[in-house]
Amino acid sequence: MSPEDLLARHPELWRRATRHPFLDGVRDGSLPEEAFRRWLVQDYHFVRGLLPAQAYVLAASPRPDQRVLASGLVGLADELDWFEQHARPRGLSLDVAVHPTCRAYVDFLRGLRELPYAAQMTALWACERAYLDAWTSASPGAPAFREFVEHWTQPGFAQYVAGLEACTGRALAWASPSEQATAEQAFRQVAEYEAAFWDMAWRGGGA
Ligand code: HMH
CATH code, domain carrying 163: 1.20.910.10
Residue 179 CB–ligand 1 contact under 6 Å = no
Question: Confidence band (pLDDT; 50, 70, 90) for 20?
Answer: very high
Q: What is the DSSP letter of 159?
A: H
The answer to whether 118 and 172 have CB atoms below 8 angstroms apart is yes
Q: Which long-range contacts (CB under 8 A, 24 or more apart) does 33-36 make?
A: 34/204, 35/201, 35/202, 35/204, 36/145, 36/201
Q: What DSSP element (H or E) covers 202?
A: helix 177-203
Q: Which of 84-93, 110-119, 137-146 has the lowest mean pLDDT?
A: 84-93
**Model pTM above 0.75:** yes
Residue 83's pLDDT is 94
pLDDT digits (tens, 9 = 90+) for 92-137: 999 999 999 999 999 999 999 999 999 999 999 999 999 999 999 9
Question: Confidence band (pLDDT; 50, 70, 90) for 204?
Answer: confident
For residue 152, give the ligand 1 atom closest to its CA. 9
The answer to whether 152 and 131 have CB atoms below 8 angstroms apart is yes
Q: Domain limits at 82?
A: 3-203
Query: How many structural domains does the chain have?
Result: 1
Residue 206's pLDDT is 47
180 CA to middle of ligand 1, Å?
Answer: 23
For residue 127, give the ligand 1 atom closest to its CA. 8
Residue 53 CB–ligand 1 contact under 6 Å = no
